[in-house]
Structure 1
Amino acid sequence: MSRDLPTRATHRISRARENAVVELLRVAPLADELAERFAAEGYRLFLVGGSVRDALLGRLGKAGSGDLDFTTDATPDAVQRLLSGWAERQWDTGIAFGTIGAIRQGVQIEVTTFRADSYDRRTRNPEVVFGDTVEGDLLRRDFTVNAMAIDLTGVDGRRFVDPHDGLAALASRILDTPAAPEDSFADDPLRMLRAARFVSQLGFDVAPRVRAAMTAMAEQITRITAERVQAELSKLITGAHPRAGLELLVSTGLAEHVLPEVPAMQLATDEHMQHKDVYEHSLVVMEQAIEREVDGPDLVLRLAALLHDVGKPATRKLEPDGRVSFHHHEVVGAKMTRARLRALRYPKSVIDEVSRLVYLHLRFHGYGTGEWTDSAVRRYVTDAGPLLERLHRLVRSDCTTRNRRRATALQRSYDSLEQRIATLREQEQLDAIRPDLDGNEIMRLLDLKPGPLVGKAYQHLLAVRMEQGPLTHEQAEAELRRWAAEQNLS
């Protein structure tokens, strides 16, 4: 790559190599410190992979990018001995793969013995073989931008190692593989998903040969466990450019195997007739939801925005007037979302929250110009529960119409709803709506023992509370006795 660049670009890359060494040692003085320990016993130590890439991008030391990865010719046993007394804590959970982990001064490091693995190409598990050179170790890495290293123990000082022109790829913002992409992905299909993840996180594109291999080999991703797919997908969704990562998954066919509901939305036309398809609309909604985030990437909100309309293809109906409808797509979509996230082994809390947002996202459209009663507003708040702020962001983001007047009207209508919620919250403590009598009082007043009848009475009083607002204690008791009489309870 770099041999074909103009002279000016070559000089720029040369300067970048020099700057990389300086920057890495500036933000990672522990690297120099550790290198002295290895060199004292005759071992080589290289800073490698994402650490080098992030230093060149100016990301090293930022949130999520402060860990340091090293490779060495020392055996794992020797690495453990060298870290002892230096690291504050170390662990060997990756020792079968030649990796020892440690923490010093709040920085997590991993030191891995040179590897020269082979793969059975039925799973992604390598037959671990320790190598002899850093060049051989770099060849087995996923992408050339991750196949750069800095020799920290060279006799002539620090040396930048870049046998696969990773720096030129970094300058061009391109993801390519050190070996042929077909061989790389056959060894480990998860690398295809990692490519999409890096597109999202770094804003890069993939080399044409990488895109072609991903398209031809997309089905190979089924060799990967759901847990590992979920981990990469979550990193993609919470990246800086998730739309680009998702579009790569869809265009190469990978999404058909990891998130098939997303490309399926290309088949449904939006009811407003303003978008190419529901898929395109959903990507826009996700981008608009991201703009409304307040505390960094929100996986639940982004997933809900992406999947809020997944029920539309299954509910699509052509009406007599020629319009397309999607009645109850929020109900169907919530069930589909729950099923997909379960298949991807997401935590129960994420599954519940995302599917709940999908279920509730359409509720606001019954508000109109403020026709809801206070009871309906209370129920909206209670049904959303702790998800209310996310629901606000999702509903506002779901407005993608190009009709400026309609968009303004929708936002004003939601402003009105939020104001009514705020007013009722001041008056009634909406966030903690409970019946005006608790279970113990219900049992005392009706002389009941714990059981289903107490629960029914509780739900009745809750419904009354929603409909009428707070009751006095006397009013609540009277309502309970009235209900009990209807139920023939003496």
Structure 2
Amino acid sequence: MNFKEELDKNEVFAKIRAAAKNLNLETYVVGGFVRDLVLGRVSKDLDFTCVGSGIALAEEVSKQFDFHVPLSVFKNFGTAMLKLEDSELEFVGARKESYRSESRKPIVEDGTLQEDLERRDFTINSMAISLNEGNYGELLDPFDGIGDLKRKQIKTPLDPEITFSDDPLRMMRAVRFASQLGFDIDPDTFYALSKNAHRLSIVSAERIIVELNKIIQTDQPSYGFKLLFAGKLLHEFFPEMVELQGVDSVDDKSHKDNFYHTLQVLDNLSLVSDDLWLRWAAILHDIAKPATKRFNSKVGWTFHGHEDKGARMTPGIFKRLKLPMDERMKYVQKLVRLHLRPIALVKDEVTDSALRRLLFDAGDDIDDLMKLCRADITSKNNKKVKRFLENFDKVEQKLREVEEKDQVRNFQPPISGEEIMETFGLKPSKTVGEIKEEIKEAILEGKIKNKPEEARQLMHQLAKQKGLVK
């Protein structure tokens, strides 16, 4: 199999060929670019391996351009990178690796192309295309990566027991590639994965979360989570999610399996949004159900307060998983806390006050909250689903009407604490806060309109009641 015509479409390869020839270095393009080329996918970043110094090759390639190309050299790793406008070129010398049991950092030595390809994670990433004069464009595929692409399977080039024990992050990558490509994991490879799941303990949370987020961002993230669960990987870093799995029954009354319900919500949401943090809200929306699960002989299973407890659990989960502890966490926390609120509004009779409070609490995230609530309808009863979604249509229409009328989505109190203090000659105090809060409540309850003149009138009435003026 020869890819000369495909390579000739990109002038970068001509420059690398020229540089390799100048240095008399045997050179290949390897890894993800080759895999994606076979699959007909676009791959902007290119990895090159040469039998010799990858740094020297990168330096020579940089001279082939008529303009300055930023060059980054990592001497400790023997690698170098050229950054073009729309892609990155990474260069490394062919190498072989050995590992110690307590670390996933390899001991690296110079090696042959064969040794370099066999150290890679999966057969579909262990292919190379020659950039050399004698066999330019020829595919080298010592581990039948082409066959595994056709079979749509993830398989290690060497014994998977050794591959995963040496570098346990490759187990996460196996699931990630299976999720992204819609492939199966080879049975022997998956058995070794599940057998070595405990080895994930030597991998940093930062590296794990990078792979997990890529799984979450796939078209059908439930597939990746099912593989993580079946392979016992999820148990190693996300026990709260594992605890969602299972069904309890008492007196013929059962609750649904909240693990698979969560995955269905995640998939439903993924059909309408690719926002990573909205998807995280779907993952965590029922995370506190195991902690709040109770059985009542009259009503069956209940999970009262799981939305509030889930919101309280969110910062701890984010911190442990090394997710960002900033506005993104607060966004997820807010949606977890509010995810039941719109369901309570699915009635023919709903007050404007309740709608105003939801708009006030959700703010600009109201549209995302409604997406989450719609995704949360997972009944197998199609008529029930249809009825709930139609009711949500009515709620959203009412929300639009109330927002247009009262403008509380980004509610800012029309009277500031500074104005209250200046008007009545007060210092910062509890009384100032009480007046602000009562004005806000009056607006949300619809007693006054969200206008400064009405708020000031109420402010003077409240001040008189509190004895601030005669």
Shorter-normalised TM range = over 0.9
User: Residue 76 of structure 2 aligns to a residue in which SS?
Assistant: helix
Match of 1:3 in 2: none
**Helix, strand or coil for the counterpart of 2:445?**
helix
The answer on 1:129 being equivalent to 2:109 is yes
Aligned to 1:245: 224
Give the superposition deviation at 1:351. 1.9
Q: Which residue of 2 aligns with 1:14?
A: none
Aligned-partner residue type, residue 79 of structure 2: T
Whole-angstrom distance in 2 between the partners of 1:371 and 1:283: 32
Cα distance, 1:219 vs structure 2: 1.0
Alignment of 1:347-358 (within 5 A): 347-348=324-325, 349-358=327-336
Alignment of 1:383-398 (within 5 A): 383-398=361-376
Share of identical aligned residues, percent?
34
2:422 alignment counterpart: 444
Which residue of structure 2 lines up, in the alignment, with residue 343 of structure 1? 320
**Is 1:306 matched up with 2:283?**
yes
Cα distance in 1 between the residues matched to 2:74 and 2:321: 24
CA distance in 2, matches of 1:276, 1:476: 48
2:52 counterpart of 1:51:
no
The 3-state SS of whatever aligns with 2:245 is helix
Larger mean CA deviation between 227-236 and 65-74 belongs to 65-74
Deviation at 1:155?
A: 1.8
Which one-letter code corresponds to 1:311 in the other structure? A
Q: Map Cα deviations across residues 387-428 of structure 1 (whole Å, 9 max, x no partner).
A: 212111100011111223322221122111110111122223
Give the 5 Å matches for 1:14-33: 17-18=1-2, 20-26=3-9, 28-33=10-15
Distance 1:135 1:472, change over 3 A: closer
Match of residue 283, structure 1, among 255, 258, 263: 263
Contact 1:76 1:95 (C-alpha < 8 Å) held by counterparts: no
State the distance in 2 between where 1:74 and 1:453 align. Answer: 76
In the alignment, residue 35 of structure 1 is paired with which amino acid? R
Conservation of the 8 A alpha-carbon contact between 2:359 and 2:403: no
Alpha-carbon distance between aligned partners in 2 of 1:444 and 1:322, rounded to the nearest angstrom:
55
| Aligned AA (1:192) | M
Partner secondary structure for residue 459 of structure 1: helix
User: CA separation in 2, counterparts of 1:121 and 1:327?
Assistant: 46
The corresponding residue for 1:13 is none
- State the AA in 1 paired with 2:188: R
**8 A Cα contact 2:35 2:124, kept in partner:** yes
Match among 109, 120, 126 for residue 141 of structure 1: 120
Any unmatched runs of 5+ in structure 2?
Answer: none
Deviation at 1:95, TM superposition (A): 3.4
2:4/2:136 contact within 8 Å kept: no
Alignment of 1:290-301 (within 5 A): 290-293=270-273, 297-301=274-278
Provide the alpha-carbon RMSD of the alignment: 2.4
**Counterpart mapping for 1:30-429 below 5 A:** 30-60=12-42, 65-86=43-64, 88-92=68-72, 94-131=74-111, 133-268=112-247, 277-293=257-273, 297-321=274-298, 323-348=300-325, 349-429=327-407
- Seen in structure 2, the aligned counterparts of structure 1 residues 336 and 472 have a Cα distance that, compared at 3 Å, is closer
Please report how far the alpha carbon of residue 276 of structure 1 lies from its aligned counterpart in structure 2 after TM superposition. Answer: 5.3
Does the 8 Å contact 2:356/2:403 carry over to 1?
A: no
Unpaired stretches in structure 1, ≥5 consecutive residues: 1-16
User: Equivalents in 1 of 2:8, 2:441: separation in Å?
Assistant: 64
Aligned to 1:92, what secondary structure does the other structure show?
Answer: strand
Q: Give the aligned residue type for 1:23.
A: E
In structure 1, give the amino acid aligned to 2:37.
A
Cα distance, 1:21 vs. partner? Answer: 4.7
Tell me, what secondary structure is at the counterpart of 1:155?
coil
The amino acid across from 1:344 in the alignment is: L
Name the CA distance, whole Å, in 1 between partners of 2:459 and 2:195. 67
Secondary structure at the counterpart of residue 435 of structure 1: coil
Tell whether the 8 Å contact from 1:99 to 1:110 is kept in structure 2 after alignment.
yes
Give the residue type in structure 2 aligned to 1:398: D
Aligned counterparts of 2:155 and 2:74: Cα–Cα separation in 1:
27
Identify if the C-alpha distance between structure 1 residues 455 and 154 changes in structure 2 by more than 3 Å, giving closer, same or farther: farther
Greater shift in the superposed pair: 336-345 or 202-211 = 336-345
**Cα separation, partners in 2 of 1:368 and 1:168, compared to 1, 3 Å:** same
Matched pairs, number: 464
SS at match of 1:394: helix
CA distances 1:106-165 after superposition (whole Å, capped 9, x unpaired): 22111111121221121211123232x211100100001000010111423322111111
**Cα separation, 1, equivalents of 2:400 and 2:105:** 55
Whether the aligned pair in 2 keeps the contact of 1:151 and 1:161 (CA below 8 Å) is yes
SS at 2:96 equivalent: coil
- Aligned equivalent of 1:457: 435
Q: Which residue identity lines up with residue 161 of structure 1 in the other structure?
A: L
- TM-score normalised over the length of structure 1: 0.89
1:261 CA drift (Å): 1.9
Corresponding residue number in structure 2 for 1:7: none
1:12 corresponds to = none
